[in-house]
Amino acid sequence: MAQIVSLSKRRGFIFQSSEIYGGLNGCWDYGPLGVELLNNIKQAWWQSMTFRDDIEGLDASILMHPKVWEASGHVENFTDPMVDCKECKARFRADQIDESKCGSNAYKGRKASKCRDEGKFTEARQFNLMFKTFIGAVESEDAVVYLRPETAQGIFVNFNNVKDSTRQKLPFGIAQIGKAFRNEINTKNFLYRTREFEQMEMQYFVKQGIDTEKYEYWKQNRLNWWINYGIRKERLQFVPHPQSKLAHYAKDAVDIEFDFPFGWGEIEGIHNRSDFDLSQHVKFSGKKLEYYDDETKERYIPYVIETSAGASRGFMAFLCNAYDEDEAPTALGKVEKRTVLRFHPKLAPIKCAVFPLVNKDGLQEVSHGIKDDLQSSFNVFYDESGAVGRRYRRQDECGTPYCVTVDYDTLKDNTVTIRDRDSMKQERIHKDLIKKYILEKLF
């Protein structure tokens, strides 16, 4: 994990938020490569959801009417049990620690760098994870609004709007990507548990009776999505929620977990939420949120199958999955260690790098021409500094799948070498075919 965190900073994937002020706990900034990777992940998800007839997109606002969160149960129930170590004052989620010892690094005692206190914790108290703020000029209780802790509620409250404006028939879904905020008690493991993060959620509305079939369909569909974008099967697992631990409204729930360097962790949840959410909003808003079936002449509140993936956690899973170390030949016929990010080409932040072999005799001009042409279709990086081997190493660390080198033969016959990041094999192709060659790998 330490190597991945350090590479992330060195290459401009992830920076600590407000770093020059010492950072802000649980918040991270996506650097130049990070934002490209994140956008590519979101775009891959968005396309897989909305490039089909039965799913519509939505982008609801982060601030919503406070009644939304009463109806959803978040005001009352979106809490975690919190305890403090009486010795060092470190704070924990009661359900996530071994209460027999503290062991916090926060302890600055004279004798130990870690708190060795044994089990002296305060009683657990419930802590609501929603960030509260005020709308308008007056900071009074009736001006309270929340930063949304999930994107799903924006979908539920727009059910009628989307259904009526698109004339979708059941079953159909609504997809949304957006920021969510949770005032987590303990943030940890880099991007895994943060206070500000992005979710990619889809709510699929179905008639009761076909909900189990659609739940199974979405479980498989979502697992395949992660695999199609390069996550190795053996690093993914389904973890069903036992019936005894299901939320009172949920009929079924399963997590997709990824094998992170620190252990297995959830990256997505798939839930059969019954008709709970729409029914709650009917109760609290007084508005009808139902579906009229023209054929059977029935009117009912649909069930919902939810797929809820973390874009930020997914980003971290893709990064950990891509990270690899192997050996590469040097110009002197030796081998050297290389770090390589083996991203799926569609997710890679930069698709291709272009290098002139030497910085003279017109090779730079030809290289610039190739770069300009490719850049109209995807993200390209031009590099003329240092030995070509060094330039390859830099691009390997960025996860760039293809590097094109322009040499003296290019001047004679318009061919270039194109080098594959993973196999390190080089092929000679005509420079006019580079774009087609790379685009074929992206789709």
Judged by the rule CB under 6 A, the positions of this chain that interact with ligand ATP are 150, 182, 184, 193-194, 197, 199, 266-269, 308-310, 312-313
Q: Which is nearer to ligand ATP, 267 or 357 (CB)?
A: 267
Q: Which is nearer to ligand ATP, 41 or 434 (CB)?
A: 41
Alpha carbon distances (Å) from 171 to 196, 213, 278, 289, 355: 32, 12, 15, 15, 51
Q: At closest approach, how far in Å is the CB of 97 from ligand ATP?
A: 15
- What beta strand segments (E) does 333-372 contain? 335-341, 352-356
- Identity of residue 15: F
Q: At closest approach, how far in Å is the CB of 415 from ligand ATP?
A: 46
Report the residue closest to ligand ATP, judged by CB.
310
Q: Which is nearer to ligand ATP, 117 or 255 (CB)?
A: 255
Q: At closest approach, how far in Å is the CB of 82 from ligand ATP?
A: 14
- A 10 A CB-CB count for 386 gives 11
Distance CA 125, CA 335 (A): 57
Assess contact for 172 and 55: CB atoms under 8 A.
Answer: yes
Q: Which is nearer to ligand ATP, 148 or 182 (CB)?
A: 182
Q: Which is nearer to ligand ATP, 88 or 152 (CB)?
A: 152
Q: At closest approach, how far in Å is the CB of 199 from ligand ATP?
A: 5
Distance CA 415, CA 430 (A): 4
- A 10 A CB-CB count for 369 gives 13
Distance CA 292, CA 301 (A): 9
Q: Which is nearer to ligand ATP, 268 or 277 (CB)?
A: 268
Q: Which is nearer to ligand ATP, 149 or 171 (CB)?
A: 149
Q: At closest approach, how far in Å is the CB of 400 from ligand ATP?
A: 27
Assess contact for 95 and 124: CB atoms under 8 A.
Answer: no
Helix, strand, coil shares of the chain as percentages rounded to 5?
35, 30, 35
Q: At closest approach, how far in Å is the CB of 177 from ligand ATP?
A: 12
Among positive and negative, which fits the CA dihedral 225, 227, 229, 231? positive
Residues in a beta bridge with 55: 173
Q: Which is nearer to ligand ATP, 265 or 389 (CB)?
A: 265
Q: At closest approach, how far in Å is the CB of 369 from ligand ATP?
A: 43
Q: Please state the φ and ψ torsions of residue 288, each to the nearest 5 degrees.
A: -85, 125
Q: At closest approach, how far in Å is the CB of 319 from ligand ATP?
A: 14
